[in-house]
Structure 1
Amino acid sequence: MNPQRRSILAGGAAAALATCHPGAWAADGGYPNKPLRIIVPLAPGGSADAMCRLVGNGLAKVLGQTVIVENRAGAGGVTGLGEVVKSRPDGYTLGYSLAGALTVAPHIAKNMPFDPLKDLAPLTQVVAVPEILVAHPNVGVKTLQALVAKAKAEPGRLNFGSAGNATVPHLGGELLKREAGIDIVHVPYKGSGPALNDLLAGQVELMVSDITLVRPHIAAGRLVALAVAGPARVSELPEVPTAAQAGLPGFTIANWHGMVAPAGTPAALLTRLRDAIAQVVRLPEVAARIDQEGAEAVVSTPAAFASFLQQESARSATLVKALGIRWE
């Protein structure tokens, strides 16, 4: 495992882990006494889907109960999280979401059907994920500077795929347009998996993506990595410069995954589930996979995650306003 990566366990999780072992939750004869359901609000094949299934398998071991992962794609994650909002707040239905549906969509969508900060109970952040700009080899560029030059020479011809309107990849593409002064066309999908499939097929040329999704394709030469949209290079792709190093310091955006429950879920259940997730990310097979994918485990308390969501929502509101994005 890369020694530079670490799991961040806040609020005494280490102490909780010291007295807990896989299957301990089931030993008291109480919760959980039936299968749990985790809704991923995006299509199969994306980074959220893969990471949720990894965490779900770990939860099944830790809780001693079956964990079922369901994909409910649509509206950039809003449709699936809407199912979580309408579910019973009994600890048996959870949502696994990227940043977009929780903190971006409310500021872009014209008719948001719920308020993520009020109608969902924050459970914990799970991972932080660097974003990276990639291109199909047929675009014929190997650097961010070359891409900008090509886009300026051919305005409106290049397009970029995203996981859907109001997702971080969408916001990242719009930010790239503004910072580079280029005209590229947004093509939304119902998840990063379908967007990646079309990118690999050359149906779209560009994508701002979670590194976890595209790293294997970069290594295989199926995609070209142009820049990391963050403050530092990533150890998995040390040769890829940051956007700032490539001449676009304003092109900075990041993604993360988190778990939520329906509003009204008892605090004791939220804490219990959060402690279980803290144990999951310490499981050797889970920790190794997170590290291999280029992500970083981040386990916070429900209160800390609530504060984080407030901050992220405010940051997204400012960026959305500056970019002038609207979604009917």
Structure 2
Amino acid sequence: MNRRHLISTTALLVMSGSVWAQAYPNRVVKLQVPFAPGGTTDIVARVIAEPLGKALGQSVVVENKAGGGGVVGANETAKSAPDGYSLGVATVSTTAANPAINPKIPYNPITDFTPIINIAATPNVIAVHPSFPAHDYKGFVAELKKNPGRYSYSSSGTGGIGHLQTELWKSLAGVFITHIPYRGAGPALNDTVAGQVPIIFDNMPSAMPFIQTGKLIPIVVAAPQRLPQLPNVPTFKEVGLEPVNRMAYYGIYGPKNLPKEVIEKVSAGVKKALQDPAVAKRIQDTGSLVVGNSPEEFAAQIKAEYEVYKKVVDQQKLKLD
């Protein structure tokens, strides 16, 4: 190969790389939700998908892939091609709680993904069916202590944040209730609202509509302070259980080795979407807080949360059901 040919080839490669970067995305982008429709992860994903698509200039299509407390969908995202067309919604369940309790998780939550941006921080809530004998925290705990093993609670799945936070709360509160795992918050909510399971530990966005209509009664929330939407409901910190007072996160990530151009475009697109007052209001109306941090900050957040739940699992000797 002569020098002129080498220079031409190098120039072509540089130009093609530049064109690729400018062209992304040139087709539909998939945003995978690792839970069934109807839960908080699904709600946040659908709120951000349309404005993100407008910012990127291509449609962003939400796909649900439930199973294994979020593991099935998260693993598919981890194993997808690192081209920016298969992204996923990162949750505490899939990147921290489930990996902390399940030694058979097929991915490493720290090394097998490229964190891009945290969209929102979401309070969690323990709520009960209206038929439950107590509708305040003190009475709730008293009823459970009076009848150990009589009641059960639903969650979005074994190893999810609802499961681990409830187990942590149980150990600190000195109560026993049986865990009933589902394939997502949507199905768990449906059975709790129907009265088939009396208690649920869920995220505020998916639980709030049922709380607002009186189909669920909020007992205690995991949030920095009382929520404006639920001014009479105490936080876990207020009832003396600050270790349980942890919010969930809902962000976007992709498989490891995502190109820098993809990270920057998706991050910028989400930030632009979050600057829209209408989009921000839809998120805030669910009880969530808008975040929109950097890829580096989100990566550090995921690592820190994983370490917290790993410590919880080890200290409480929690194991899969």
Which one of 173, 184, 205 corresponds to residue 177 of structure 2? 184
The equivalent residue for 2:8 is none
The equivalent residue for 1:110 is 103
Shift of 1:284: 2.6
Shift of 1:285: 2.0
Task: Provide the rounded CA distance (Å) in 2 between the counterparts of 1:228 and 1:246.
Answer: 10
The equivalent residue for 2:222 is 229
Q: Is the alpha carbon distance of 1:309 and 1:47 closer, same or farther for their aligned partners in structure 2, counting shifts above 3 Å?
A: same
Q: Is the alpha carbon distance of 1:31 and 1:244 closer, same or farther for their aligned partners in structure 2, counting shifts above 3 Å?
A: closer
The equivalent residue for 2:146 is 153
Task: Provide the rounded CA distance (Å) in 1 between the counterparts of 2:267 and 2:34.
Answer: 20
Number of residue equivalences = 302
The equivalent residue for 2:124 is 131
Identity of matched residues, %: 35
The equivalent residue for 2:318 is 325
Give CA-to-partner distance per residue, 1:154-175, whole Å, 9 cap, x none: 1111111000011111112112
Contact preservation (8 Å) 2:56, 2:265: no
The equivalent residue for 1:162 is 155
Task: Provide the rounded CA distance (Å) in 2 between the counterparts of 1:85 and 1:219.
Answer: 37
The equivalent residue for 1:121 is 114
The equivalent residue for 1:299 is 292
Shift of 1:237: 1.0
The equivalent residue for 2:164 is 171
More deviation in 28-37 or 233-242? 28-37
AA at the equivalent of 2:138? Q
Task: Provide the rounded CA distance (Å) in 2 between the counterparts of 1:327 and 1:124.
Answer: 30
More deviation in 30-39 or 297-306? 297-306
Shift of 1:176: 1.9
Question: What's the TM-score, normalizing by structure 2?
Answer: 0.90
Which one of 290, 305, 322 corresponds to residue 283 of structure 2? 290
Question: What's the TM-score, normalizing by structure 1?
Answer: 0.88
Structure 2: state its 5+ residue gaps: 1-20
Q: How does 1:245-284 map to 2 (within 5 A)?
A: 245-284=238-277
Task: Provide the rounded CA distance (Å) in 2 between the counterparts of 1:211 and 1:169.
Answer: 12
The equivalent residue for 1:46 is 39
Contact preservation (8 Å) 2:126, 2:201: yes
Shift of 1:251: 3.5
The equivalent residue for 1:62 is 55
Shift of 1:307: 1.3
Q: How does 1:302-317 map to 2 (within 5 A)?
A: 302-317=295-310
Task: Provide the rounded CA distance (Å) in 2 between the counterparts of 1:82 and 1:251.
Answer: 27
SS in 2 for 1:113: coil
Give CA-to-partner distance per residue, 1:178-216, whole Å, 9 cap, x none: 111011000111111110000101111111111111122
Contact preservation (8 Å) 2:43, 2:205: no
